[in-house]
Structure 1
Amino acid sequence: MAEATDLDSVLQRLESLEIKASFTEDLLDQLNMTIYQQQGLIDRLTREILQLRQQVPEGGLSGPRDLRDELPPHY
């Protein structure tokens, strides 16, 4: 009888470990997908920053400015 109880206990523990492993694999897949999506977003934002830098004149924004250009639109 004791052997049957021990075997049942081992089988329950094994089943529990298999369930945990399955959930862990699912979580890992979700995390990998999140990282993949975030890397895509980082790449897109990096390209946008590079494009914006190309649009800014070489001297940056420190060149001569007309103060009238800085008036709020309601003036």
Structure 2
Amino acid sequence: MPSELPAQLEQRIVELETRLAFQEQALVELNDALAASRIEAAENAEVLRRTLDALKQSRGEFYADPSEEPPPPHY
């Protein structure tokens, strides 16, 4: 039995090292995915900002300032 103990310990260490390697790889992949997600969110926010600016500008064209409008014909 004493000779089995070092072999069992070595097997456990190898298993733990393998698990650690997989966890490190998963962590790298998650970090990459999070970074890509943040970049995409920033790009989407910029597109939304530009769209809102364009909408505000086009709204201004449709709804002109009443002071600039000519008086109605009955005046």
> Which TM-score applies when normalising by structure 2?
0.75
Match of 2:8 in 1: 2
- 1:1-75 to structure 2, matched below 5 A, reads 1-58=7-64
CA shift, 1:16, in A, is 0.4
Structure 2: where are the runs of 5+ without partners? 1-6, 65-75
Structure 1: where are the runs of 5+ without partners? 59-75
Instruction: Tell me the distance in 1 between the aligned counterparts of 2:63 and 2:45.
Output: 29
Report how many residues are paired.
58
CA shift, 1:57, in A, is 3.3
Instruction: Tell me the distance in 2 between the aligned counterparts of 1:32 and 1:55.
Output: 35
What is the RMSD computed on CA atoms of the aligned residues? 0.8
Instruction: Tell me the distance in 2 between the aligned counterparts of 1:48 and 1:31.
Output: 25
Q: Percent identity between the aligned chains?
A: 14
Structure 1 or 2: more helix by fraction: 2
Instruction: Tell me the distance in 2 between the aligned counterparts of 1:24 and 1:38.
Output: 21
> Which TM-score applies when normalising by structure 1?
0.75
Larger radius of gyration: 2
